[in-house]
Amino acid sequence: MKYFQLFVDENYVPPSPTGWYGKLDRKALEGKRAYELPGHSLFLVEAHQQMVFTDVTTFPCFLISEKVKEILQKYDPFIPYARMIFYDKKRSKSKAYYFPFLEEMEAGIEKGGNSTQQSIVNQKGVRDKVIFKLREENQTKIIVRLDLLESMLRREVIGIGVREICHTQMK
């Protein structure tokens, strides 16, 4: 099965929350369960003329819109979520985002001759996962399976970027 790294397309300016430090950063969310976070949290977003409420945002953590959450629930109904509200005070618009508590994989990344070509080493647990976090050095990547990505593209999600990552068997 093919896998892709999911990120925000550089042609979009996603919402950037203010006052997130200590609430939405990796340290604050790492090891927590869905019931340990408040029912929902409100964050003001920085005013930016070209800002668009994208369906996926990766800063300060990976968040998805209601549309992406509904798609993901069809593939894995057991993923818990924490709800966040992003509010653009200048435009008086808001959007709900969800933090999915994804499983973090210890799969390794092998870089091929071409620096853009990467592959996931198939370790225990990677197989059959539709979406997961992959920690590489000091950053976390979101990896999605091809069928989930196709469902998202068919439903015209806004602002996603993808990069193919080849899936190889462990030696």
How much is the pLDDT for 117? 45
Check the CA dihedral 104-107-111-117 and report its sign: negative
Query: Among residues 109, 111, 131, 112, which one has the least CA distance to residue 121?
Result: 109
Predicted model pTM: 0.81
39: which 2 tokens? Answer: 């029912």
* 26 pLDDT higher than 80: no
Q: What angle in degrees, to the nearest 10, is found between the helix axes of 66-75 and 146-154?
A: 140
Rounded Cα distance between 79 and 72, Å, is 9
Indicate the pLDDT class of residue 87, thresholds 50, 70 and 90. very high
